[in-house]
Chain A
């Protein structure tokens, strides 16, 4: 079995899927910030480090796009989830679901 994805990795991968063809650094960061909706601040460095790690693992691929005036003409890097990435996400979800299904929710402390 491949290494199970961490929670933050899953959030970033899901943000990329939700953004579709418009998934680039800034839009992914905004999506992740919305997930936490002010409960905690999300550092850009953490998101980019995760994107980089996922790309190294082969779960994401990226390509450069055109820049805009708002970015001072700087190019965008667009991300998309690879087939391996989808498999890893499905595996992470099914593993967690099978564990949760055997436990009554909400979890309580036993005396």
Chain B
């Protein structure tokens, strides 16, 4: 008889959120409960229940991960706010090339959120790689903003600060993700 099982990506998420100590036991408990719910209510309610339980593990995993990388979390929060602020200002002031500027602001916010999502979900390789790839892109963005600002007669100090923080964010992201990769490999 084939036993009902949650979708593989959801099981992968559970494994990513739990500490090594709890991985086997809690994943087993959830699988047991999932089977009961699948038998009594069908696949969809069981999958929804399982997804809800995964979400309930996220805050704890996030707090544990963020405690290990407070500087990166603070910088991500700050750059996310800066991205939102830059995007709003572009809209209010109707800058030319609005779409381009909005894309950059959206990317800054997105990269900060992606990094903060990838930190607790440390064992999901795709997320880790995406955060590192985004790190390369924000480094380029920060460096090109510095270059442009230095060669621009109209000096805007806040751009230099945001650009510098983006570069630091990228460096810390790489460090955190490479550490996680080493832990996952071990």
Q: Which residues of A contact B (CB under 8 A)?
A: 24-26, 29-30, 41, 43-46, 48-49, 52, 64, 67-72, 74-77
Contact = CB atoms under 8 A, between A and B. Distances in A.
B175 interface: no
Interface string B3-33: 1010000000000000000101111111111
A10 to B, nearest CB: 20
A52 to B, nearest CB: 8
B47 interface: no
Secondary structure type dominating chain B contacts: helix
A64 to B, nearest CB: 7
B52 A43 contact: yes
Interface of B: 3, 5, 22, 24-33, 35, 52-53, 55-60
Contact of A25 (B29, B52, B56, B59): B29
Contact of A45 (B31, B33, B59): B59
A63 B144 CA distance: 56
Given A70-B35, A74-B24, A75-B24, A45 B29 contact: no
Given A43-B52, A43-B53, A70-B35, A24 B29 contact: yes
Given A52-B22, A68-B32, A75-B24, 17 more contacts: A25-B29, A26-B28, A26-B30, A26-B33, A41-B52, A43-B52, A44-B29, A44-B56, A45-B57, A45-B59, A48-B57, A70-B35, A71-B28, A71-B29, A74-B24, A75-B25, A76-B25
28 contacts: A24-B29, A25-B25, A25-B29, A26-B28, A26-B30, A26-B32, A29-B33, A41-B52, A44-B33, A45-B56, A45-B57, A46-B56, A48-B22, A49-B60, A52-B22, A64-B25, A68-B32, A69-B3, A70-B35, A71-B28, A71-B29, A72-B31, A74-B24, A74-B31, A75-B24, A76-B28, A76-B29, A77-B25
A30 B53 CA distance: 13
Contacts of B33: 26, 29-30, 44
